[in-house]
A and B are shown apart, each in its own frame.
Chain A
């Protein structure tokens, strides 16, 4: 499809396990963002990639969270030793022109940590 694709759409895991969430941005979009949204809350910025520049990791809540973007395209967000407070919807967005303000979001990966 032409939109941002995220997988898995739903993930249930046990506390302490590691999880990987994948994002496939719109082809040609150099900017890629990860946000998370807890129930009834706004979007919390996690990390931002732009082309080959060093990522802006200022939103990652702890060192259990990491993300990479290979080849300037697909990105993976990894959460190690998951905790119950990590339960949220993790949203990926891409943009061809961030100055326009238009971020194209995927449908999200809903993570539930038991």
Chain B
């Protein structure tokens, strides 16, 4: 079983829409969680960390549900520039230097 599972999408949404992605993780001992963004044929870049109480960064909101072992990313007022693949990343408690990446969820924002 994969450490991190994501719906590959694509999610096709119009500009201004609100869209949410989920990601599930298999190891209940996972310590830290992150969302990365990867543009087509580019390297991944950190979008935001995910805190236990949930956190917001502008139009982006991240949530963690430890009981159900999933994290989510909500994007409000989608922009064309949000089109990318969003990677869920999990860091296990037993090795805080190791990062497991999901396969990513592709988002296409249309005019």
Against A, the Cβ 8 Å flags (1 = close, 0 = not) of B75-86 are 000000000000
Using CB atoms, name the residue of chain A closest to B96.
A99
Residues of A within 8 A of B (CB): 31, 33, 35, 40-43, 45, 48, 50, 56, 91, 98-103, 105-108
- Tell me if A101 and B43 are in contact (CB < 8 A): no
Q: How far is the CA of A54 from the CA of B89 in the complex (A)?
A: 24
Determine if B32 is an interface residue (Cβ-Cβ < 8 Å): yes
Against A, the Cβ 8 Å flags (1 = close, 0 = not) of B20-54 are 00000000000010100000001111100100000
- Tell me if B43 and A105 are in contact (CB < 8 A): yes
- Tell me if B44 and A43 are in contact (CB < 8 A): yes
Using CB atoms, name the residue of chain A closest to B6.
A42
Given contacts A42-B4, A108-B43, contact A101 B34 (CB under 8 A): yes
Residues of B within 8 A of A (CB): 4, 6, 8, 32, 34, 42-46, 49, 87, 89, 91, 95-104
- Tell me if B43 and A42 are in contact (CB < 8 A): no
Chain B residues near A56: list those with CB within 8 A. 95, 97-98
- Tell me if B102 and A107 are in contact (CB < 8 A): no
- Tell me if B46 and A43 are in contact (CB < 8 A): no
Using CB atoms, name the residue of chain A closest to B97.
A98
- Tell me if A41 and B98 are in contact (CB < 8 A): no
Given contacts A42-B4, A42-B104, A45-B98, contact A101 B44 (CB under 8 A): no
